[in-house]
Amino acid sequence: MSLTLIIVTYNSGHVIEKCISSLESFKNSVLIVDNNSLDGTAMKVKRCGVQVIQNSANLGFGGAANRGAREASGQILSFLNPDCETAPDFFLEGISALDGNPKRCVVPRVIRHQNMVTDGRQFGYTRRKLFCDIIQTNCGENRFTKWIN
């Protein structure tokens, strides 16, 4: 199964090169969607030799992520923040966990400083918030999502 790594950027010039460097073995799978950065992020990305889509306006994370998903060529999509750095086998393990099943989703374990482990969410992102975001994405804003938020 083919993979596209989608990274949404906005004024991420100070971190994007390190991120792309950590993805060296998947460089042909990287798709950067730049939200009209003012700090030269898109130029840095181009120098790294990865594909970049430049938005003419800041579409926000969701809008840019959706644009990246529409433009992606991979059967598997992985969304990364521009300040992420990964181990070389990180995506191979995720692809293996999917086992060709299109109904599966892989959520990584994030190891932060002092070996604190956070299962697939950023610091402060609760399971309740994750559940609400999944419901909103699939069913839209409704009474339930307003109540749970």
pLDDT in tens, 74-87: 988 999 999 888 88
Dist CA 144 CA 22 (whole Å)? 40
Dist CA 110 CA 147 (whole Å)? 29
pLDDT category at 54 given cuts 50, 70, 90 is: very high
**Per-residue pLDDT for 139 more than 90?**
no
CA within 13 Å, CB half, 125:
12
pLDDT category at 7 given cuts 50, 70, 90 is: very high
Min mean pLDDT across 22-31, 33-42, 66-75, 138-147 is at 138-147
CATH number of 3-106: 3.90.550.10
0.85 exceeded by the pTM?
no
Domain ranges of the chain: 3-106, 107-149
